[in-house]
Amino acid sequence: MDPTLAAQMSEAVAEKMLRYRRDTAGWKICREGNGVSVSWRPSVEFPGNLYRGEGIVYGTPEEVWDCVKPAVGGLRVKWDENVTGFEIIQSITDTLCVSRTSTPSAAMKLISPRDFVDLVLVKRYEDGTISSNATHVEHPLCPPKPGFVRGFNHPCGCFCEPLPGEPTKTNLVTFFHTDLSGYLPQNVVDSFFPRSMTRFYANLQKAVKQFHE
């Protein structure tokens, strides 16, 4: 992928993510519990929903980021039940890459294994926030693979935000914005993401404790 185009695309995605983060209008809460809130609103990118999760994770932003960051051989594959593989297709800079993520079957196998090819930008902000910013791309080195339905992530990612006066806690805000493709009943998709995101926070908390105690 052309590095200049990749940089322009990824910065546009990061700007969009900041707008999602700041925009409080139109969100409808669909799941709450154990300190985690999941809400949604209709996507303007595809005929589906944009999901927003927010919750406190016990761990510093760096510790939390270490568990969620997109990295080959990273911790994410070890604890996230929705990730079975992660590889870098093209490394563009230290903070920008094209990746392929594979996911297992889900929802009692109603959702078959998926894979996603994304342009991913990592950003660090002056207040200590670390963010991932991703969107789907096509890449000649990663055509569709047998055994996987190719899904598409629209602008998505997360913010690991420090909490003032609480150095050992992180406010984690996540955005899931995924077209799973295939012929899935909408009610299956609508029930999958809120449940899956709630488990994401619970499993992440266990991982931070396990890997950073």
Q: Is 155 a residue whose pLDDT tops 90?
A: yes
- Do the bridges between strand 149-150 and strand 114-124 make them parallel or antiparallel, or are there none, so unpaired? parallel
Task: Provide mean pLDDT across the span 144-167.
Answer: 97
Residue 162 belongs to a domain with what CATH number? 3.30.530.20
Q: Is 213 a residue whose pLDDT tops 80?
A: no
**pLDDT tens-digit profile of 53-90?**
999 999 999 999 999 999 999 999 999 999 999 999 99
**pLDDT tens-digit profile of 20-52?**
999 999 999 999 988 999 999 999 999 999 999
The structural domain count of the chain equals 1
Burial class (CB in 10 A: 0-12, 13-18, 19+), 168: exposed
* pLDDT at residue 148, rounded to an integer: 97
**pLDDT tens-digit profile of 124-139?**
999 999 999 999 999 9
**pLDDT tens-digit profile of 96-121?**
999 999 999 998 888 999 999 999 99
Considering only 149-158, 167-176, 204-213, which range has the smallest mean pLDDT? 204-213
Q: Is 200 a residue whose pLDDT tops 80?
A: yes
Range of the structural domain that residue 167 is part of: 3-210
Read off the pTM.
0.96
Q: Is 185 a residue whose pLDDT tops 90?
A: no
Distance CA 73, CA 67 (A): 11
* pLDDT at residue 29, rounded to an integer: 97
Residue 75, Cβ neighbours under 10 Å: how many? Answer: 18
* pLDDT at residue 204, rounded to an integer: 97
Closest listed residue to residue 161, CA positions, set 87, 61, 75, 89: 61
Is residue 160 within 8 Å of 129, Cβ to Cβ? Answer: yes
Q: Is 186 a residue whose pLDDT tops 90?
A: no
Q: Is 160 a residue whose pLDDT tops 80?
A: yes
